[in-house]
Amino acid sequence: ADVIKKNEKSANDYLTQTRQKNYLLDLLKYHKIQVEAFFDEKGVSIETLTKSQASKIIDGIILQYGRISRRYS
């Protein structure tokens, strides 16, 4: 039973991490921020971002530029 819970947790973590990255990319696109330049400046790549790193970057973008308008999504 413990093995199944660990596997379920890692699958859920992966989905959450993927959603975070997708939302981050959507925010960058919505605010017309160049993705490559943004990640080069931060010294990270989208593939290697952790959920925590993505969340901090998302918070910073929302603070500086705002959320995605509901009309857009």
pLDDT in tens, 4-23: 555 556 777 788 888 999 99
- pTM of the prediction? 0.73
Evaluate whether 57 touches 24 at the Cβ level (below 8 Å). yes
Neighbours of 51 (CB within 10 A): 15
Q: Which residues touch 16 (CB under 8 Å, ≥6 apart)? A: 51
Instruction: Write down the pLDDT at residue 26.
Output: 94
**Would you state the structure tokens that stand for residue 19, as one six-digit string?**
């959603």
- What are the CA-CA distances from residue 59 to residues 4, 9, 26, 56, 68 (Å)? 33, 24, 13, 5, 12
What are 18-63's pLDDT values in tens digits?
Answer: 899 999 999 999 999 988 878 777 777 888 888 888 898 999 999 9
Instruction: Write down the pLDDT at residue 32.
Output: 93
